[in-house]
Amino acid sequence: MLQVDFANLDASRIGPDQGVEWTRELEAAAPRLEAARDALWERAGDPAAMLGWVHLPEATDVLRSVQRFVLAQEGVRDVLVLGIGGSALGAKALDAALGGAGARLHFVDNVEPEPVAALLDRLDPAATLVNVISKSGTTAETMAAFLIALDWLRRALGPRWKDRVVVTTDPERGVLRPYAERHGLASFEIPPDVGGRFSVFSPVGLLPLALAGVDVAGLLAGARMAGALARADAGGNLPAQTALAQYLAWRKGQRISVLMPYSSRLALLPSWFVQLHAESLGKAYDRSGSRVHVGPTPLPAVGATDQHAQVQLFREGPFDKLVVFVRHREADRDLILPAEEGLEELGYLFGKSLFQLLRAEAAATAHALAEARRPNYTIVLEQIDAYHLGWLLQHLMWQTAFLGELFDVNAFDQPGVELGKRYTYALLGRPGYEELAAELARAGVEP
């Protein structure tokens, strides 16, 4: 089960200035949410709408081909995953939560030379598979890492380098697809109508996660639950409901959306969520072309760790945050705290378990925020496993799609990141970028 407790949003708990009358607001918004749902499902059939991610959990043929490929990878102990943004963050978050039974994943999602060099020094090329992932097949950071990895493999393996590369990219766009074909490299497709930040349940995430021994079929089964709920009327449509909560918070001036799982295993989940919300909802124009400059600012936090860092700000700082907790009901393992002579002051802990403490801290923090009139809600997972995380990630993707409808923005493009990329090309002397290079020179910008 995945459930959401909205009680700490309610004006009856946190007062009318920060809170909302949740039941009434949900009832009032039901026609709008259901219209958004109908519009999204209708557009899901149109490849130009970039809603192909909606169908990924049903793609059992892709799942089977990923699983077949993984079975054939003899002697692979490590996987070098080259990708950035949506081509890395989902698998990175899920590997941190669920990996460990298979190959070790190493993500190269930055171009700082020292860590890349140190990683390659540690790995044995003969036991490493390089999975280069890029939807566009052109991203400079990923292509640079690929050039380095190719050279590293070739030096060690000679012509056998080809057995150690698998390419995940768009069927048509970019330089990776023709390169894979030219060299007969193994490859997987990112469907053209699936954008990077919505691609975790395509081979972008499924392949590295299956190599890491994660139950990828379980992920997809959970993701299907989120899709089923996204078809429901507003009263049972959890993604529409959390989208509404986020939207109402924005309208009340709570412009920062904190995601705070109470779990170190989920510590990287907020980084994935940050890209999902920031690129999807941070927009200058609405769909009719009016300037709007909208978008909640996503902020990562981790419980209980951040109780000793950010919670001070959340409780006493500006009234500009909505905090979303993620908790789980059951621990896979637990540790009992033994009694210790000389530490009797800690008697309240003796005989309790670490998980009991974690749960108490989560409940206490949510209430402490509510007590200070800080809106928050809690997503409760039965446990941290593939099924529930598949559900949670697809839920958050659906939430984002609903928010796109509520803000009336295109949640599936990211025009704001382009100019920085083009300036980078200009600074590196890429042909075709001479005018931008001249503009940068006039402004005194140097690499």
Among 83-91, 99-107, 109-117, 438-446, the segment contacting ligand F6P (CB under 6 A): 83-91
Q: Evaluate whether 94 touches 205 at the Cβ level (below 8 Å).
A: yes
Q: Interface with ligand F6P includes 196 (CB under 6 A)?
A: yes
Q: Evaluate whether 373 touches 209 at the Cβ level (below 8 Å).
A: no
Among 8, 87, 280, 400, binds ligand F6P (CB under 6 A): 87
Q: Interface with ligand F6P includes 419 (CB under 6 A)?
A: no
Among 8, 73, 139, 271, binds ligand F6P (CB under 6 A): 139
Q: Which of residues 295-354 bind ligand F6P (CB under 6 A)?
A: none
Q: How far is the CB of 170 from ligand F6P (least distance, A)?
A: 8
Per-residue interface string for the shown chain with ligand F6P, residues 256-285, x marking contact by CB under 6 A: -----------------------x------
Q: Interface with ligand F6P includes 136 (CB under 6 A)?
A: yes
CA distances to 255, 298, 311, 391, 426 from 327, rounded to whole Å, are 23, 18, 17, 14, 46
User: How many CA atoms within 13 Å lie on the side-chain side of 224?
Assistant: 11
Q: Which two tokens stand for residue 320?
A: 């500009």
CA distances to 204, 291, 330, 354, 426 from 334, rounded to whole Å, are 33, 52, 10, 6, 54
Q: Interface with ligand F6P includes 84 (CB under 6 A)?
A: yes
Q: Which two tokens stand for residue 429?
A: 């002397």
Three-class SS state of 143:
helix
Query: Can 388 be counted among the known catalytic residues?
Result: no
Residue 399, H or E segment: helix 386-407
Rounded CA separation 321/332 (Å): 32
What is the length of the chain?
A: 447
Q: How far is the CB of 393 from ligand F6P (least distance, A)?
A: 15
Among 131-139, 210-218, 243-251, 296-304, the segment contacting ligand F6P (CB under 6 A): 131-139
- Our CB check for ligand F6P shows the closer of 135 and 328 to be 135
Q: Interface with ligand F6P includes 249 (CB under 6 A)?
A: no
Q: Which two tokens stand for residue 252?
A: 């009340």
Rounded CA separation 240/402 (Å): 6
Q: Interface with ligand F6P includes 134 (CB under 6 A)?
A: yes
Three-class SS state of 347:
coil
Among 197, 321, 327, 388, binds ligand F6P (CB under 6 A): 197
Q: Which of residues 371-410 bind ligand F6P (CB under 6 A)?
A: none
Three-class SS state of 380:
strand
- Our CB check for ligand F6P shows the closer of 365 and 400 to be 400
Q: Interface with ligand F6P includes 417 (CB under 6 A)?
A: yes
Among 106, 135, 321, 327, binds ligand F6P (CB under 6 A): 135
Give me the amino acid identity at 211.
Answer: L
Among 129-137, 323-331, 373-381, 390-398, the segment contacting ligand F6P (CB under 6 A): 129-137
Of 308, 316, 344, 435, the active-site residue reads 308
Q: Interface with ligand F6P includes 187 (CB under 6 A)?
A: no
Pairing state between β 128-134 and 104-108: unpaired
Rounded CA separation 12/22 (Å): 9
- Our CB check for ligand F6P shows the closer of 336 and 417 to be 417
Alpha-carbon 186 to chain mean position:
26
Q: How far is the CB of 281 from ligand F6P (least distance, A)?
A: 13
Query: Can 308 be counted among the known catalytic residues?
Result: yes
Neighbour tally for 10: CB within 10 Å: 19
Q: How far is the CB of 114 from ligand F6P (least distance, A)?
A: 22
Query: Can 421 be counted among the known catalytic residues?
Result: yes
Strand partners of residue 353 = 336
Catalytic residues: 279, 308, 421
Binding residues (CB under 6 A) for ligand F6P: these are 84-87, 134-136, 139, 142, 196-197, 279, 414, 417
